[in-house]
Amino acid sequence: MQFGQFMSHDMAKTTLVPSAKCNVCQNIPGRCMAVFIQPQDPNQGFHNDQCLRVSRSSPICGSGRSRPRQQLNENTGYIDGSPIYGSSIDDLVKFREGSTGFLKIKRFNGLQLLPFDESTCHSANDCKATFVAGDSRVNLFFGLTSTHILFTREHNRIAARLQRLNPHWDGDRLFHETRKIVGAEIQAICYREYLPKVLGSAFATTVGVYRGYDPDVDSTVANEFTAGAYRFGHGMIQEFYPRLDQFNRTTQFGGFNFVDGTLHSDRLIFQVHTQFLSQQKNDYC
Ligand code: HEM
Ligand SMILES: [Ca+2]
């Protein structure tokens, strides 16, 4: 599940119409869809809300009128570690340690973590555990945050080794050679470990043997894949996750009880979704 979510964030980030613009139980063409609650639905919370307010994916400007509506992917569709490095050169400066070959990390309580989102800090030593990374969804779930931290540390581990082997490399060379290796590691885990487990015997017929890079393949991500098919992973989310103390002993089960006492994962997605949308800054066309 956890690697799958990380992969989905490497391949796609669909901009949504801000939820504040969809706060009524009404269909607003092109923007919002209201899913009305059926009288027989047993969920009282849904009845209180009257409908589920669904924001539509933002269109690419100009599409949806004389030509079919197309959705925007804010991230690089290639599996290239973009949750770690960002999807644009401008963003990279936020994560790279100056002009060195290393990624920024924050040392906290003897741990190497991601930099804190300073807008959530009351003082230098009093910050919320909200991190900055190449994909803004890094804080959506602590398993996902851990995966980000893992690959950020992996980058710095490899960069340190490469630096020892190639002391003449400048920061740019060191950074990009390392990034290439980390991206390749993520691809290798995806194709050699994750997909064979997910697809089972269908792996051979659906993915098959890698025959080398083909520049003619359209590498953009299909809407059907992100909006539908790949969300199969939501069904893999467990309701409880074991948590470890500093001695790696199981302390308690970390349920999703921050979601107003309910532990059902569908509801989790819905709740996190609403929280997450309220943080979105991007507007639609
Ligand atoms: C703790 C686990 C997870 C949580 C809390 C979570 C939550 C969410 C939320 C809130 C969204 C945005 C909802 C929306 O666009 O309507 C989303 C989108 C998505 N999720 Fe998950 N998810 C989790 C795990 C997974 C897993 C394991 C997979 C696949 C293996 C996955 C695949 C996707 C995909 C493909 C999208 C659409 C991405 C886009 O187009 O931007 N998610 N998820
Ligand atoms: Ca990517």
pLDDT digits (tens, 9 = 90+) for 196-241: 999 999 999 999 999 999 999 998 999 999 999 999 999 999 887 8
Output the average pLDDT for the chain: 86
CA of 55, closest atom in ligand 1: 16
pLDDT digits (tens, 9 = 90+) for 52-89: 998 888 888 888 888 999 988 999 999 999 999 999 99
Higher pLDDT, 285 or 111: 111
Report the pLDDT value the prediction gives residue 262, as an integer from 0 to 100: 35
- Give the burial string for 156-189 (b: 16+ CB within 10 Å, else e): bebbeebbeeeeebebeebbeebbebbbeebbee
Higher pLDDT, 262 or 220: 220
Is residue 101 packed enough to be buried (19+ CB in 10 Å), middle (13-18) or exposed (0-12)?
buried
Report the pLDDT value the prediction gives residue 182, as an integer from 0 to 100: 98
Half-sphere exposure of 256 (CA within 13 A, CB side): 18
Helix (H) or strand (E) holding 6: helix 2-11
Nearest CA to ligand 1 atom 25: 5
Task: Confirm or reject: Cβ of 77 under 6 Å from ligand 1.
Answer: no
Q: What SS3 class is residue 78?
A: coil
**Mean pLDDT of the 160-166 span:** 98
Q: What SS3 class is residue 175?
A: helix
Report the pLDDT value the prediction gives residue 265, as an integer from 0 to 100: 42
Q: Is the pLDDT of residue 30 over 90?
A: no
Report the pLDDT value the prediction gives residue 59, as an integer from 0 to 100: 87
Question: Rounded to 5 degrees, what angle do the CA atoms 270, 117, 90 make?
Answer: 95
Q: Is 47 annotated as a binding residue?
A: no
Report the pLDDT value the prediction gives residue 35, as an integer from 0 to 100: 92
Q: What SS3 class is residue 168?
A: coil
Q: The tokens 């040392």 sit on which residue? A: 107
75 C-alpha to center of ligand 2: Å? 6
Report the pLDDT value the prediction gives residue 252, as an integer from 0 to 100: 62
7 C-alpha to center of ligand 2: Å? 8
Q: What SS3 class is residue 262?
A: coil
Higher pLDDT, 237 or 262: 237
Total residue length of the chain: 285
Nearest CA among 75, 74, 93 for reference residue 175: 93
Catalytic positions are 9
Q: Which amino acid is at 269?
A: I
Q: Is the pLDDT of residue 116 over 80?
A: yes
Task: Confirm or reject: Cβ of 231 under 6 Å from ligand 1.
Answer: yes
Q: Is the pLDDT of residue 277 over 50?
A: no
Q: Annotate 84-143 with DSSP letters as a single string.
A: HH-SSHHHHHHHB-TTSSSB--EEETTEEEPPB-GGGEEETTEE-S-B--SSGGGGS-HH
**Mean pLDDT of the 247-253 span:** 73
CA of 1, closest atom in ligand 1: 27
Q: What is the ipTM of this complex?
A: 0.97
